[in-house]
């Protein structure tokens, strides 16, 4: 192979594929990337056997070829180059990198030993969505997910696709977040409803590598998904199993509701949590006769504090305990000035959402009093 590329393009491509470099000691080749030149493009690929990322950058191809090179040393060299143009040329299984005043030889391995990058068979059915909306939807649910070896089905984000709606959901059994997009906000060629669970790491990497305000295409196969965007392809395995049926736990009515300024609520949670105990307990007290809610926390070794927040309260009086970190996560996911918190006693699920927005909800389980 022989190609001339711009340093910035090569640096961007390496940054993208570096997200899926493997750490398997039994397979040291996973610390390599695969370089392929064809049709005035340099394609860089990496995989950890669960996630594979391929990035294509433009260049002047003089000879087509294939190489497998250690990622870390190549990435370090490119990051420190000062010249704009970079010449790459193969010599056996090795790579010669040249600029006007620098030359390096990187020892590679037989590219045939590099793991096969999986391909999606079904390329006719997909969804297409604006990347900014895609990232915003993921970001608002992903912090409710948690890696679980006992329950792998909650170790990722559910993508529920139908012709009329696109849903993203995540849960760790103590809280649940759901974001719903209408048919006007995405395009699809998928005729039947599909539910898949994307591993948490894949979802996190998509948020990092996808640029703003471009188009993302998502293809679904029997056991893997392909995310295709602007010269970048991310292929991930799917998590087997059924995502929990969470609809029965979503409160249809609430015994107590209050509306409060979001930023003031966030500040109150942060401040009163200073005295929260080791299990992050924060007590919320609502009295219908008052126009305030009270947040309270205490620790026998530190002391206690409380915070009063002006609010619009409807319904029954209640005292309920929450994990303050989980509560704060939910508040951060709502972008509106006001938030609506619906409660059903001290032991049933509570719901946090924007007053006039039905596209997002955050369900939070109370903590049982000790």
pLDDT digits (tens, 9 = 90+) for 318-334: 999 999 999 999 999 99
Looking at residue 24, its pLDDT comes to 72
Q: How far apart are CA 14 and CA 312, in angstroms?
A: 52
Q: Which residues contact 245 (CB under 8 A, 6 or more apart)?
A: none
Residues 202, 236 contacting (CB under 8 angstroms): yes
Altogether, the residues listed in the chain come to a count of: 370
Looking at residue 318, its pLDDT comes to 94
Domain ranges of the chain: 2-113, 126-237, 250-364
Yes or no: domain 250-364 corresponds to CATH 3.30.1490.20? no
- Torsion angle of the four alpha carbons 188, 190, 192, 195, in this order, in degrees rounded to the nearest 10: -80
CATH of 126-237, one of 3.10.150.10, 3.50.50.60, 3.20.20.70, 1.10.3720.10: 3.10.150.10
Residue range 2-113, CATH number: 3.10.150.10
3-state secondary structure of 262: helix
Q: Which of 291, 245, 294, 253 is nearest to 272 (CA)?
A: 294
Looking at residue 370, its pLDDT comes to 64
Q: Which of 213, 217, 214, 230 is nearest to 56 (CA)?
A: 230
Stretches where the chain sits below pLDDT 70 are: 25, 370
The conformation of residue 349, written as its DSSP 8-state character, comes to -
Looking at residue 64, its pLDDT comes to 94
Looking at residue 25, its pLDDT comes to 67
Q: Which of 65, 55, 116, 57 is nearest to 91 (CA)?
A: 65
- Could you report the per-residue pLDDT of 89-143, keeping only the tens digit for each? 999 999 999 999 999 999 999 999 999 999 998 888 899 999 999 999 999 999 9
**Strands 360-364, 350-353: parallel, antiparallel or unpaired by DSSP?**
antiparallel
Residue 205 CA, distance from chain mean position: 6
Q: How far apart are CA 259 and CA 205, in angstroms?
A: 35
| Residues of the chain by 3-state class (helix, strand, coil), percent to 5 | 25, 45, 35
Separation of first and last alpha carbons in the chain = 67
Looking at residue 277, its pLDDT comes to 77
Same fold, 126-237 and 250-364: yes
List phi, psi (to 5°) of 120: -80, 130
Looking up tokens 């493009």 gives 41
Looking at residue 186, its pLDDT comes to 96
């Amino acid at each position: 192979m022989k190609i001339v590329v711009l340093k910035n393009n090569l640096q961007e491509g390496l940054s993208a594929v570096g997200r899926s470099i493997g750490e398997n000691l039994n397979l040291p080749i996973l610390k390599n990337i695969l370089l392929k030149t064809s049709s005035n493009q340099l394609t860089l690929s990496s995989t950890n056997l669960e996630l594979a990322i391929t990035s294509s950058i433009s260049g002047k191809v003089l000879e087509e070829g294939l190489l497998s090179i250690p990622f870390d040393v190549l990435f370090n060299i490119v990051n420190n180059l000062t010249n704009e143009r970079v010449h790459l040329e193969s010599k056996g299984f090795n790579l010669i990198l040249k600029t006007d005043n620098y030359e390096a030889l990187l020892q590679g391995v037989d590219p045939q030993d590099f793991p096969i990058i999986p391909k999606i068979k079904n390329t006719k059915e997909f969804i297409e969505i604006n990347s900014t909306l895609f990232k915003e939807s993921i970001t608002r649910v992903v912090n409710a997910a948690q890696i679980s070896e006992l329950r792998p089905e909650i170790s990722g984000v559910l993508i529920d696709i139908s012709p009329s709606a696109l849903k993203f959901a995540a849960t760790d059994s103590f809280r649940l977040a759901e974001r719903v997009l209408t048919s006007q906000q995405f395009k699809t060629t998928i005729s039947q409803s599909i539910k898949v669970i994307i591993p948490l790491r894949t979802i996190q990497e998509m948020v990092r590598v996808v640029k703003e305000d471009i188009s993302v295409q998502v293809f679904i196969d029997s056991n893997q998904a392909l995310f295709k965007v602007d010269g970048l392809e991310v292929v991930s395995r799917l998590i087997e199993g059924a995502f929990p049926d969470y609809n029965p736990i979503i409160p249809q009515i609430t015994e107590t509701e209050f509306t409060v300024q979001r930023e003031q609520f966030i500040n109150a949670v942060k401040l009163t949590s200073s005295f929260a105990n080791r299990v992050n307990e924060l007590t919320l007290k609502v009295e219908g006769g008052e126009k305030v809610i009270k947040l309270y926390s205490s620790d026998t070794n530190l002391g206690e504090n409380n915070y009063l927040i002006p609010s619009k309260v409807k319904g029954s009086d209640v005292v309920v305990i929450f994990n303050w970190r989980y509560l704060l996560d939910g508040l951060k996911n709502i972008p509106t000035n006001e938030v609506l918190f619906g409660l059903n006693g001290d032991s049933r699920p509570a719901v946090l959402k924007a007053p006039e927005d039905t596209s997002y909800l955050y369900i939070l389980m109370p903590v049982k009093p000790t």
